[in-house]
């Protein structure tokens, strides 16, 4: 049974196997060698060269993440237990990027340095072929890759044992634990070690989750005792609500409120805001951040007012928002027109942000856009600027720019309207900042500068870097706007998925099923819009036309089995199903055994599709 969950190949095994040739490479088939042959075919399709090239350095990795925090003690124990074996132990994130590594001795450390098994380097299968990190992510299972089973020739003197580290609640792969040694030191026991160690890390992650849940439950009890208002308390995979809130709001409305509230909680300790739940219903909420140390665990939400409008007398206003494709525009001077489209399918979080961005553009104010990588910060400002100033020319400046090119671009035609975009401004040197201020002064003297935006990526900018940026440009950037990550607006996913599919397929006939959309909505999207686009591109490569079904989605998405609306909902649904089974389907007896009203049982059965 255990062997069915892993891929193992060892080039010291017997020879009674058939040989096949994926491209110009040979792979032995038989048993789990078919697993490696499939990995080779994926590697070849991704354009990986067997002869190699340098391992790509990504650099943008969170070496102080929650995963690293709980993995590090396990890595240290593994090194202690295997001190007599020349071994490197590494943990990667869920994109195959190495986060941390420890070695039993300097000899093996020096060897694996030559293959760049180090923080910041990418071991995704699409980058380096079959290996103990990327192949785990592609297959969703543990692997033991030895010697010539590696696609990339540089790895063929090594043995790699890798196992997925899953979020214990969602089932989503958070990262990979990998053990690397020379082939002559390889043993199947390493595969057992890596699976056991990955399980230990998962237990630590679960204990952390349980602590956060207890904090949320305690916060809910205190807030409920003090308030008579309908109340929601939410965190990752947790949603607790009072009976008043459940009667007032359906499940979809609660999710809209929770997503907006979590977005607010990351930005302010307390906030009060109105949210449009539908064209007819507007809710006013007050949010209170719930913290554990310096970490935001969740948010408490008091429902202050819920207004239902008469649709016959309400004037409907189309909200104009930018399209959502993420485009890397490397041209410094060329602008292009883009027509945005009216859309009423989008979340209140996104509508609020786009409204704020449009306001600063219309006022010709300078603005700092802050957000995670992949949320579409630059795309958002470009589309809004083009709407307000159709003939605008964008000047993009980033660290390492050539001053003469920027000045030439800025002064080549004094009649043009110009919008300046600073990328990664927190990385600019003192000399570069002075040059940018000269360019701004020159553009202002020509009176054709219509605005300036600084694009700041949260994961890349520490507090000290951001402070340095704000001090350097004091008096220039007066307003900051936070662009929300996709996990805070998953209600937008149906629109985003359809729009992106249409764009990638060239307005083809590809569609996506409701089950697949539901699975996409359950995923946390750490890579945001960019990751969504990559996932849908992979789906289209498998099925260029027709309906994309759940089985067409990548394994990492499909394994995210518990909906983001809450582990409590999952538990509650299971309790209802079990009670109905124990009472032979009798709803009256099931409701009584659960301690709830029969009407509540009917409503929950409908909500959970039981």
Q: What are the extents of the domains in the chain?
A: 2-207, 227-308, 320-484, 488-558, 567-607
Query: Does the structure show a pLDDT above 90 at 287?
Result: yes
What does the pLDDT average to over 205-220? 80
Band of residue 313 on the pLDDT scale cut at 50, 70, 90:
very low
Query: CA separation (Å) from 515 to 298, 549, 553, 603?
Result: 28, 7, 11, 22
Q: What is the pLDDT of residue 62?
A: 80
Strands 231-235, 238-241: parallel, antiparallel or unpaired by DSSP?
antiparallel
Question: How confident is the prediction for the chain on average, in pLDDT?
Answer: 78
User: Rounded distance, CA 435 to CA 9, Å?
Assistant: 58
What does the pLDDT average to over 8-28? 39
User: Rounded distance, CA 26 to CA 11, Å?
Assistant: 12
Query: Does the structure show a pLDDT above 80 at 465?
Result: no
What does the pLDDT average to over 453-475? 65
Q: What one-character-per-residue DSSP string does 36-78 give?
A: HHHHHHHHHHTT--TT--PPPB-----TTSHHHHHHHHHHHHH
User: Rounded distance, CA 280 to CA 253, Å?
Assistant: 12
Superfamily (CATH H level) for 227-308: PAS domain (3.30.450.20)
Task: Spell out the residues 6+ positions from residue 250 whose beta carbon is closer than 8 angstroms to its own.
Answer: 607
Q: What is the pLDDT of residue 507?
A: 59
What does the pLDDT average to over 296-324? 63
Q: What is the pLDDT of residue 335?
A: 32
Question: What CATH topology corresponds to 320-484?
Answer: Rossmann fold (3.40.50)
Q: What is the pLDDT of residue 479?
A: 83
User: Rounded distance, CA 324 to CA 502, Å?
Assistant: 12
- Please provide the CATH number assigned to the domain covering 2-207: 3.30.450.40
**What are the tens digits of pLDDT across the range 184-202?**
988 887 888 898 899 899 8
Q: What one-character-per-residue DSSP string does 203-225 give?
A: HHHHHHHHHHHHHHHHHHHHHHH
Tell which CATH architecture fits domain 488-558: Orthogonal Bundle (1.10)
Q: What is the pLDDT of residue 403?
A: 67
Query: Does the structure show a pLDDT above 50 at 167?
Result: yes
Q: What is the pLDDT of residue 181?
A: 94
**What are the tens digits of pLDDT across the range 513-572?**
888 888 888 787 888 898 999 889 888 888 887 888 888 888 767 655 443 334 445 556
Q: What is the pLDDT of residue 409?
A: 66
Q: Name the one residue in this structure whose structure tokens are 């204990």.
A: 207
Q: What is the pLDDT of residue 571?
A: 52
Query: Does the structure show a pLDDT above 70 at 240?
Result: yes
Helix ranges restricted to H, 114-188: 125-128, 134-139
**What are the tens digits of pLDDT across the range 157-166?**
999 999 999 9
Q: Judge if pTM exceeds 0.85.
A: no
What does the pLDDT average to over 118-136? 93
What does the pLDDT average to over 491-520? 81
Query: Does the structure show a pLDDT above 70 at 13?
Result: no
Q: Name the one residue in this structure whose structure tokens are 């485009």.
A: 327
Strands 449-457, 367-371: parallel, antiparallel or unpaired by DSSP?
parallel
What angle is formed at CA 16 by the lines to CA 10 and CA 22, rounded to 5 degrees?
65
Q: What is the pLDDT of residue 4?
A: 33
19, β-bridge pairs: 28
Band of residue 10 on the pLDDT scale cut at 50, 70, 90:
very low
Query: Does the structure show a pLDDT above 50 at 50?
Result: yes
Specify whether the CB–CB gap between 124 and 554 falls below 8 A: no
Summarize the chain as % helix, strand, coil (round to 5): 45, 20, 35
Band of residue 169 on the pLDDT scale cut at 50, 70, 90:
low
Specify whether the CB–CB gap between 251 and 565 falls below 8 A: yes
What does the pLDDT average to over 50-75? 84
Residue 342: half-sphere exposure toward Cβ, Cα within 13 Å: 4
121, β-bridge pairs: 57
What does the pLDDT average to over 580-595? 80
Written as six digits, the tokens of 525 are: 């999207």
User: Rounded distance, CA 244 to CA 264, Å?
Assistant: 23
Q: Percent of the chain, pLDDT > 70?
A: 79
**Nearest Cα residue to 137 out of 78, 188, 177, 170:** 177
Please tell me which of 256-260, 433-437, 595-599 the model is most confident about, judged by mean pLDDT. 256-260
Band of residue 601 on the pLDDT scale cut at 50, 70, 90:
confident
Query: Does this chain's domain 320-484 share its CATH topology with 567-607?
Result: no
Tell which CATH architecture fits domain 567-607: Orthogonal Bundle (1.10)
Q: What is the pLDDT of residue 1?
A: 32
Query: Does the structure show a pLDDT above 90 at 109?
Result: yes
Specify whether the CB–CB gap between 296 and 266 falls below 8 A: yes
Other residues' Cβ atoms within 10 Å of the Cβ of residue 62: 13
């Amino acid at each position: 049974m255990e062997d069915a969950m892993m891929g193992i190949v060892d080039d010291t095994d017997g020879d009674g196997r058939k040989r096949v040739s994926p491209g110009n490479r040979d792979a032995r088939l038989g048993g789990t060698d078919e697993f490696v042959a499939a990995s080779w075919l994926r590697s070849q399709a991704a354009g990986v060269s067997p002869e190699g090239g340098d391992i790509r350095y990504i650099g943008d990795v969170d070496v102080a993440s929650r995963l690293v925090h709980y993995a590090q003690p396990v890595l240290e124990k593994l090194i202690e237990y295997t001190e007599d074996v020349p071994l490197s132990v590494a943990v990667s994130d869920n994109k195959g990027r190495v986060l941390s590594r420890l070695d039993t001795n300097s000899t093996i450390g020096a060897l694996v340095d030559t293959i760049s098994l180090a923080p910041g380097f990418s071991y995704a299968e699409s980058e380096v072929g079959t290996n103990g990190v990327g192949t785990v992510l592609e297959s969703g299972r543990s692997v033991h890759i030895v010697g010539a089973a590696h696609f990339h020739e540089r790895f063929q003197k090594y043995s790699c044992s890798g196992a997925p580290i899953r979020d214990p609640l969602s089932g989503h792969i958070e990262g990979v634990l990998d053990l690397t040694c020379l082939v002559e030191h390889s043993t199947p026991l390493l595969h057992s070690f890596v699976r056991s160690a990955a399980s230990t890390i998962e237990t630590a992650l679960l204990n952390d989750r349980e602590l956060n849940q207890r904090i949320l439950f305690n916060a809910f009890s205190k807030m409920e005792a003090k308030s008579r208002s309908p109340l929601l308390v939410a965190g990752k995979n947790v949603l607790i609500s009072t009976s008043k809130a459940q009667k007032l709001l359906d499940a979809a409305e609660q999710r809209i409120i929770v997503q907006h509230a979590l977005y607010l909680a990351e930005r302010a300790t307390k906030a009060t805001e109105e949210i449009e739940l539908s064209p007819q219903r507007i809710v006013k909420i007050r949010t209170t951040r719930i913290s554990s140390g310096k970490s935001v665990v969740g948010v408490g939400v008091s429902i202050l007012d819920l207004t239902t409008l008469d649709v016959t007398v309400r004037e409907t206003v189309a909200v104009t928002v930018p399209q959502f494709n993420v485009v890397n525009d490397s041209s410094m001077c060329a602008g292009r027109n883009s027509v945005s489209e009216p859309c009423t399918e989008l979340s209140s979080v996104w509508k609020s942000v786009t409204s704020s961005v449009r306001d600063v553009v219309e006022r010709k104010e300078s603005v700092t856009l802050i957000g995670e990588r992949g949320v579409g910060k630059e795309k958002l400002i470009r589309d809004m600027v083009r709407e307000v100033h159709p003939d605008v020319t964008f000047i993009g400046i980033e660290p390492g720019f050539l001053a003469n090119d920027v000045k030439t671009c800025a002064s080549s035609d004094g009649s043009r309207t110009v919008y300046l975009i600073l990328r990664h401004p927190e990385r600019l040197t003192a000399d570069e900042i002075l040059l940018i201020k000269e360019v701004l002064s020159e553009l202002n003297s020509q009176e054709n500068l219509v605005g300036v935006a600084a694009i700041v990526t949260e994961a890349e900018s520490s507090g000290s870097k951001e402070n340095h940026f704000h001090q350097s440009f004091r008096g220039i950037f007066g307003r900051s706007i936070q662009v929300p990550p996709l996990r805070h607006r998953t209600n937008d996913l149906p629109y985003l998925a359809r729009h992106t599919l249409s764009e990638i397929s060239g307005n083809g006939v590809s569609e996506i099923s409701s089950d697949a959309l539901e699975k996409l909505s359950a995923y946390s999207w750490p890579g945001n819009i960019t990751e969504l686009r990559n996932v849908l591109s992979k789906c289209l490569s498998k099925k260029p036309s027709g309906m994309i079904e759940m089985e067409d989605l990548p394994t990492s998405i499909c394994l995210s089995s518990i909906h983001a609306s809450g582990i409590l909902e999952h538990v509650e649904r299971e309790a209802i199903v079990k009670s109905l089974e124990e009472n032979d389907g009798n709803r009256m007896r099931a409701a009584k055994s659960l301690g709830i009203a029969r009407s509540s049982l009917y409503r929950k059965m409908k909500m959970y599709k039981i």
